[in-house]
Amino acid sequence: MIKLTALYGHPTDPAAFENYYAATHMPLVAKMSGLLRYEKAKVVGTPDGDKPPYHRMFEAWFDSEAALGATMGSPEGKAVVADLANFATGGVTILVSAVE
């Protein structure tokens, strides 16, 4: 199984980020086929109480690297990637991992 993780840096306007993410970006994600499941989370802290390095994270699971590639290469997947520039003002780090 393959997992894609998106780690969103702190946006310049957190309220605008959250509104756009919920109302525009996540509906685009919901249109993608090939996802086994996905999960979104707002980062609320660190164990030592410091400011967390990320504002939000997103994880999506796929059957294989080929399934990930097919999903992200589809028109829906390309729309999701292109949309990042519209709201991820704190930057976004994308990781792909093999789930053990």
What H or E segment, with its residue span, contains residue 7? strand 2-8
Give the pLDDT confidence score for residue 31 in this predicted structure: 96
Where residue 9 sits, what CATH number does that domain have? 3.30.70.100
pLDDT of residue 49: 92
Looking at the 3D structure of the chain, how many domains does it have?
1
Q: Which domain holds residue 39?
A: 2-98
- Start-to-end C-alpha separation, the chain: 8
Kindly write down the DSSP assignment for every residue of 10-77, as one continuous string.
Answer: PPSSHHHHHHHIIIIIHHHHHT-SS-SEEEEEE----TTSPPPS-SEEEEEEESSHHHHHHHHHSHHH
Average pLDDT over residues 69-83: 97
**What pLDDT is stored for residue 58 in this prediction?**
98
